[in-house]
């Protein structure tokens, strides 16, 4: 596999900006097993952008508002 085929990992801060979640809300979701998949590298959580987008899309509200 060449380095151009690898998706870079991103830290938590851009994920929070993208999702609009606070740090505490994210950790609450993670504790319940409902956050986007992450990799723990040392003390840091790192994410694949495609995993974050898939996770966000899976939470799309498909029901019309009442």
pTM exceeding 0.85: no
Gap between the Cα atoms of 44 and 41, Å rounded: 5
DSSP codes joined into one string, the chain: --GGGSPPEEEHHHHHHHHT--HHHHHHHHHTT-SPP-EEETTEEEEEHHHHHHHHHHT---SPP-
Query: Tell me, what's the pLDDT at 5?
Result: 65
pLDDT higher than threshold 90 for residue 4: no
Percent of the chain residues topping a pLDDT of 90: 79
**Alpha-carbon dihedral angle through residues 52, 58, 35, 31, given to the nearest 10 degrees:** -170
The residue-averaged pLDDT of 33-43 equals: 94
């Amino acid at each position: 596999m060449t380095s151009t085929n690898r998706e870079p990992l991103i830290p938590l801060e851009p994920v929070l900006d993208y999702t609009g979640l606070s740090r505490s809300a994210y950790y609450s979701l993670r504790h319940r097993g409902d956050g986007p998949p992450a990799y723990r590298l040392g003390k840091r959580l790192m994410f694949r952008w495609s995993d974050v987008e898939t996770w966000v899309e899976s939470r799309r509200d498909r029901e019309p508002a009442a």
